[in-house]
Amino acid sequence: MRVLILTPVGRDAALLAQIVEALSAEPVIVPDAAALLQELPLGVGASILADEAIRPQHVQALTTWLSAEPPWSDPPFIILTPAGQTKEYSYHRSREFSTLGNFTLIERPVRPEALQSAVRAALRGRMKQYEVRSRQEALLRANEDLEQFAHSASHDLKEPLRNIRIFSELLLKEYGSKLDARGADFLDVVGSSALRMDNLLADLLAYTEASSIPDDLPVPIQARDALDAALGNLAAAIQETDAQIIAENVPAVRMRGSHLQQVFQNLIGNAIKYRRESCRPRIALQSSRLEQFWLFSIADNGIGIAPEHREKIFGIFQRLHSNGRYSGTGMGLAICQRIIERYRGRIWVESELGQGSKFFFTIPA
């Protein structure tokens, strides 16, 4: 690792370089602060700076450079202050250097062992930062690969599946009369299984696509528009079940409209789907401000969820019911969670079996 050395006294610099070399690091002596700023972006393990060589404008320039560094990076600075200074001086300089974050002041005259140990500690810390970066990069790569895999798999599987559906329909149309009841039943199962797989793949695709959310928060949109669009898509189910939906105080939020619509649609769709047979579905949407987020809740009077299942239901393909009773893929809540978490929000549920459910989620205001 490179250790940048900025000190105006030639002998000092040579001595410091020796100490750095003894630690198997590479000393790079820079003549002035401008040269230091040029060297820093080329990679640095630590910097040893003579206090008298650093003016306030240099601290400013270093701070600007640091602010553009990635989050894992916190390069250490060891600053050698002049001998025999007052406490006030050290205090004043510490405050000036505070924007550098990771800095240590060492008063001259410096004992070589003391400096060596400070540089060793700084380099060790820096090494840990690089390790964190490598691990993060490896994780990101693995995650991207997995997403790419899931995306291609769900995409590529659609084609043969379409053939299964088309040809089982053709079989029924052209040879249906030659089949007995058992044969027709078998064909029926082929058709409905293909349809189910088609839904699973569509949801899996929607799940992988929920990751393509930009790092920057979008401009605010009216959540009411997303809600209306979701209710429009649920119109048939609302009408069929005579569901009552009350939405109060629907604010503006910093989220892509299509994502919010997807969340509303899944949650309200579930609130209707998992209704109690004996009563008309009543669904209440509320929101309140929670620091820089909006907290939304969607409460229903449906069948409820047992406490031990409250976390599990957000998993991929996790369902609590057989397909015979309630249709679904077990992906709706997983998609909601993925979207919400990409916006740095949270989603959870409060519920008791038979007591209705209340889903909460937060999204940036």
Q: Which helix H or strand E contains 264, and what residues bound it?
A: helix 257-273
Least spacing, CB of residue 5 vs ligand ADP, in Å: 59
Token pair for 103:
């800095």
> In one letter, which amino acid is 268?
I
Listed residue (162, 153, 150) closest to 210, CA to CA: 150
Whichever of 13 and 205 has its CB closer to ligand ADP, that residue is 205
Distance in Å, CB of 229 to ligand ADP, minimum? 18
- Least distance (Å) between residue 99 CB and ligand ADP: 47
Strand runs labelled E in 162-211:
none
Nearest approach, Cβ of residue 67 and ligand ADP (Å): 41
Q: Which pair of structure tokens corresponds to residue 7?
A: 């000190």
CA distance 131 to 122: 14
Among 360, 151, 361, 350, residue whose Cα is nearest residue 255: 361
Residue 361 CB, nearest distance to ligand ADP (Å)?
13
- Separation in Å, CA 115 to CA 95, 97, 312: 22, 19, 54
Which CB, 321 or 344, lies closer to ligand ADP? 321
Report CA Rg, the chain.
31
From the number of C-beta atoms within 10 Å of its C-beta (0-12, 13-18, 19+), residue 1 rates as middle
- For ligand ADP, the closer CB: 44 or 247: 247
What is the distance, to the nearest Å, from the Cα of residue 24 to the centroid of all Cα atoms in its chain? 38
Q: Give the CA distances from residue 275 to residues 1, 336, 358, in Å, rounded to whole numbers and listed in that order.
A: 63, 20, 13
Question: For ligand ADP, which is the closer residue by CB, 26 or 198?
Answer: 198
Query: Residue 165: what are its φ and ψ, rounded to 5°?
Result: -65, -50
User: In this complex, which beta carbon is closest to ligand ADP, that of residue 266 or of residue 287?
Assistant: 266
Q: CB of residue 304 vs ligand ADP: minimum separation in angstroms?
A: 6
CA 219, CA 257: separation in Å to the nearest integer?
10
Helix (H) or strand (E) holding 128: helix 112-175
Which residue in 327, 320, 315 sits closest to 351, CA to CA? 320
Site of interaction with ligand ADP (CB under 6 A): 266, 270-271, 274, 300, 302-305, 313, 318-321, 328-334, 357
Whichever of 304 and 345 has its CB closer to ligand ADP, that residue is 304
- What strands lie across the sheet with 244-247, from one edge to the other? 244-247, 282-290, 293-300, 357-364, 347-351
**Nearer Cβ to ligand ADP (183/330):** 330
Closest distance of CB 267 from ligand ADP, Å = 7
Q: Which residue is nearest to ligand ADP (CB)?
A: 328
Closer CB to ligand ADP, residue 117 or residue 258?
258
Q: How far is the CB of 307 from ligand ADP (least distance, A)?
A: 13
Residue written as token pair 């380099």: 123
Question: Looking at beta carbons only, is 78 or 335 nearer to ligand ADP?
Answer: 335
Nearest distance, CB of residue 274 and ligand ADP, angstroms:
3
